[in-house]
Amino acid sequence: MLMRGVLKKRQALLFDIDGTLADTDALHIEAFNAVFGPFGHAFDRTRAARELLGRSNVSIGAEFLPHERPERRAAIMAEKEAVFRSLAAGEVQPLPGLMTLLDHAEAASIPVVAVTNAPRANAEMILHGLGIADRFRAVIIGDELPHGKPHPLPYLEGLRAVGAMADRAVAFEDSRAGITAATAAGIATIGMRTNLGHDDLIAAGAAMTAAAFDEPEVLTLVTARLGGAA
146 — phi, psi (to 5°)? Answer: -60, -30
Of 16, 143, 174, 200, the catalytic one is 16
Closest CA to 117 of 205, 58, 41: 58
Q: Which of 18, 25, 174, 200 does the annotation list as catalytic?
A: 18
Q: CB of 51 within 8 A of CB of 39?
A: no
Residue-wise pLDDT for 137-182, tens only, equals: 999 999 899 999 999 999 999 999 999 999 999 999 999 999 999 9
Find out whether 73 and 63 touch, Cβ atoms under 8 Å: no
Q: Judge whether residue 101 has pLDDT over 50.
A: yes
Task: List, for residues 8-49, the tens digit of each pLDDT value.
Answer: 568 999 999 999 999 998 899 999 999 999 999 999 988 998
Query: Confidence class of residue 100 from pLDDT cuts 50, 70 and 90?
Result: very high
Residue 106: count other Cβ atoms within 10 Å of its Cβ: 13
Average pLDDT in the chain: 92
Q: Judge whether residue 4 has pLDDT over 80.
A: no
Q: Where are the domains of the chain?
A: 12-23+94-226, 25-88
pLDDT in tens, 108-124: 999 999 999 999 999 99
Q: What does the alpha-carbon distance between residue 125 and residue 89 come to, in Å, rounded to a whole number?
A: 8
Q: What is the pLDDT of residue 74?
A: 93
The DSSP element (H or E) to which 156 belongs, if any, is helix 153-162
Percentage, residues of the chain above pLDDT 90 = 82
pLDDT computed for residue 203 by the predictor: 97
Query: How far is it, in rounded angstroms, from Cα 6 to Cα 152?
Result: 29
Residue 2, pLDDT score: 55
Please report the pLDDT score of residue 60 as a whole number. 93
Query: Is 70 exceeded by the pLDDT of residue 77?
Result: yes
**In sequence order, what DSSP letters do the residues of 40-63 get, joined into one string?**
T----HHHHHHHTTTS-HHHHHHH
Residue 96: per-residue pLDDT:
97
Residue 45's pLDDT is 87
Asked if residue 1 has pLDDT above 50, the reply is no
- Domain 12-23+94-226 matching CATH 3.40.50.300: the answer reads no
**What is the reported pLDDT for 229?**
39
Give CA–CA dist 180/99, Å, rounded: 26
What is the predicted pLDDT for the residue at 94? 95
State the CATH class of domain 25-88. Answer: mainly alpha
**Does 199 qualify as catalytic in the annotation?**
no
Are 145 and 194 spatial neighbours (Cβ–Cβ below 8 Å)? no
Q: What is the pLDDT, as a whole number, of residue 63?
A: 93
- Residue 23 annotated among the catalytic residues of the structure: no
* Alpha-carbon gap, residue 227 to 9, rounded angstroms: 11
Length of the chain: 230
Considering the chain, what percentage of its residues have pLDDT values greater than 70?
A: 95
8 A C-beta contact, residue 50 and residue 150:
no
